[in-house]
Amino acid sequence: MARSIIVTGGFGVLGQAVAEAFARQGDKVARIDFAPAPKVAIPGALDIGGVDLTDAAATSAALEQVAAAHGGIDVLVNVAGGFTWETLEGGSLDSWAKMQAMNLLSNATITKLALPHLIAAHEARVVNIGAGAAIKAGMGMGAYAASKSGVHRLTEALAEELAGKGVTVNAILPSIIDTPTNRADMPDANFAEWVKPEAIAEVILFLASPAAASITGALIPVTRGA
């Protein structure tokens, strides 16, 4: 039976790959994004743009739209987020609040509001995008890593909170993702060592599958290149 899947940040490179992977296996896919519209369409997908995931009312409205269209919510994949590189000395304190909002508060907001649907679905899944860089932050990574570390702790705490309720909660921790933006920002890097969005999508498909029913609260590194 086709499941109802939500991919936040689904209009971006990684979100697109994840949404396409679910669509290929016959699931009903909804993409929720801050951007107004996707650059690349996915046939049959429900696209909801212009949503600030830190806005509870807007997020709740988007969730209800998905639940009504797809008959509930079975899987929530939290891809939405942002990145900044700046030192504490030379950067802005505003960046710390921005990273917390984009990476952690957005995740917590939609996950909390989706919980009634997920618990009602039985055998539901939440998959978060953490970061390998949040295990040990390098220079300039403080604000980003702190927010992603929050995602890791949210994942662990929620997994225990939902134990026995048929919902698993896990996070994947990618290394550098091979995207056009990252290639432009780091043109001298060895791109072959970076992890492909499609490879991340495959791990997410597994964590969302019945085969992963016994895995919850896990922080799973995804680091291999091509």
Q: What residue ranges do the domains of the chain occupy?
A: 4-222
User: How many beta carbons lie within 10 A of that of residue 128, not counting itself?
Assistant: 28
Tally of helices (H runs) and strands (E runs) in the chain: 7, 7
Identify the CATH homologous superfamily for domain 4-222.
Answer: NAD(P)-binding Rossmann-like Domain (3.40.50.720)
H or E element, residue 151: helix 142-161
Residue range 96-123: mean pLDDT, rounded: 97
Categorize the per-residue pLDDT at 177 as very low, low, confident or very high, splitting at 50, 70 and 90: confident
Measured between alpha carbons, how far is 20 from 31 in angstroms, rounded to an integer? 10
Residue range 47-51: mean pLDDT, rounded: 98
Question: In this structure, are residues 8 and 15 in contact, taking their beta carbons and an 8 Å threshold?
Answer: yes
Q: Give yes or no for residue 94 having a pLDDT over 80.
A: yes
Q: Give yes or no for residue 225 having a pLDDT over 80.
A: no
Percent of the chain with pLDDT over 90: 89
Q: Is the pTM of this model over 0.75?
A: yes
Q: Which amino acid is at 113?
A: L
Measured between alpha carbons, how far is 62 from 50 in angstroms, rounded to an integer? 10
Measured between alpha carbons, how far is 91 from 70 in angstroms, rounded to an integer? 44
Alpha-carbon 47 to chain mean position: 16
Closest CA to 32 of 18, 2, 52: 52
Question: In this structure, are residues 34 and 79 in contact, taking their beta carbons and an 8 Å threshold?
Answer: no
Residue range 73-95: mean pLDDT, rounded: 97
H or E element, residue 5: strand 4-8
Residues 6+ apart with CB under 8 A from 124: 73, 74, 75, 76, 117, 118, 166, 167, 168
Q: Give yes or no for residue 76 having a pLDDT over 70.
A: yes
Cα four-point dihedral sign 62, 63, 64, 67: positive
Residues 6+ apart with CB under 8 A from 15: 7, 8, 9, 31, 33, 79, 80
Segment 128-163, tens digit of pLDDT: 999 999 999 999 999 999 999 999 999 999 999 999
Question: In this structure, are residues 48 and 32 in contact, taking their beta carbons and an 8 Å threshold?
Answer: yes
Question: In this structure, are residues 173 and 222 in contact, taking their beta carbons and an 8 Å threshold?
Answer: yes
